[in-house]
Amino acid sequence: MGTTPGFDIYQRWRRPFEVAVWLVFFAINGVFNSINSGIDHAGAAAWEPWLWEWSSVVMLLALLPGVIALERRWPIRFDTWRRNLPLHLLFSVPFSLIHVGGMHVLRKLGYTLAGAHYDAFGASWWMNAGYEYLKDVRTYFVIVGALVLYRLWLLRQQGEARLLAAPDEGAPVEPVERPERFLVRKLGKEFLLNANEIEWLQASGNYVNLRVRGRDYPLRATMAGIEARLDPARFVRVHRGYFANLDYLVEIEPLETGDARLQMRDGTRLPCSRRYRAALRERFGQPD
């Protein structure tokens, strides 16, 4: 059930790589748009097109984490696009307002430093505002589309876990309400994952990541939904976004805040909130 060595390396550097890709993407756009804008506005000062375009780039980069969070909360999938697509169309309005507003503040600042005058929209402000929104709604959905395609690629590479369904005929070989195995589909193949091998579970948007031997397998479920399916003798909730398998827990480190930090067998540290710390200690016969 292992992934390719290349993908394992990518997973270790995934976050820096994602940040770098977005930075390079917007930087390249900024450079080419600045050059094109300079050609289209031959009478402008040499610095003006660069200020126009890079003020936009800065604001788009500032808005990017918000778009990622919105797409994670309301993902575009085959079973959700009819419900979530109109929401994203609605989200594109404040996206555009913040982008345009912040962009013009930066431009105004740049012109002031250069000792020049900047007129944001001119007399036809309503036409220019509409034009800016048409550009922004396209940019918004380009970002969302890239996130959707990237998630599909990740799911294909690392595999997606699913709960075993009840058979059409006859009794199931194991309890469906509390499964002993999860079905993992990856690269066109299917594998069975033993529930006892799950070291911890972490909430991730509309998914719950199952951590097994250094790899994450996303399960489309909620924390509340999966809690009812886990063996309470083995799995315990330690945080709003985490469950820990007690078989893999080696140390509970109290913190001055009243929370705790859990060290797992592989050296990973998980957060344990004050709300769940007392119940965890009671499991080991150590009342808080």
Residue 172 lies in a domain: no
Say whether both 20 and 154 belong to one domain.
yes
Domain containing residue 278: CATH number: 2.40.50.1020
Other Cβ atoms within 10 Å of 103 Cβ, number: 22
Residue 163 lies in a domain: no
Domain enclosing residue 203, as ranges: 177-283
Say whether both 150 and 252 belong to one domain.
no
Separation of alpha carbons 102 and 95, rounded Å: 11
Q: Report which residue type is found at 146.
A: A
Final residue of a structural domain among 126, 158, 190: 158
**75 CB-contact burial (10 Å; exposed 0-12 / middle 13-18 / buried 19+):** buried
Say whether both 93 and 182 belong to one domain.
no
Return the pLDDT at 186: 67
Say whether both 40 and 141 belong to one domain.
yes
pLDDT digits (tens, 9 = 90+) for 167-204: 444 444 455 566 778 887 766 677 788 888 999 999 98
Residue 165 lies in a domain: no
Separation of alpha carbons 50 and 31, rounded Å: 8
Residue 169 lies in a domain: no
Give the predicted TM-score (pTM) of the model.
0.68
Concatenating the DSSP letter of every residue in 69-97 gives HHHHHS---TTTHHHHHHHHHHHHHHHHH
Separation of alpha carbons 164 and 84, rounded Å: 27
Residue 70 lies in a domain: yes
Final residue of a structural domain among 123, 158, 193: 158
Give the position of tokens 């309301």. Answer: 74
pLDDT digits (tens, 9 = 90+) for 104-144: 999 999 999 999 988 776 656 677 788 899 999 999 999 99
SS3 263: strand
Tokens of 226: 């999966």
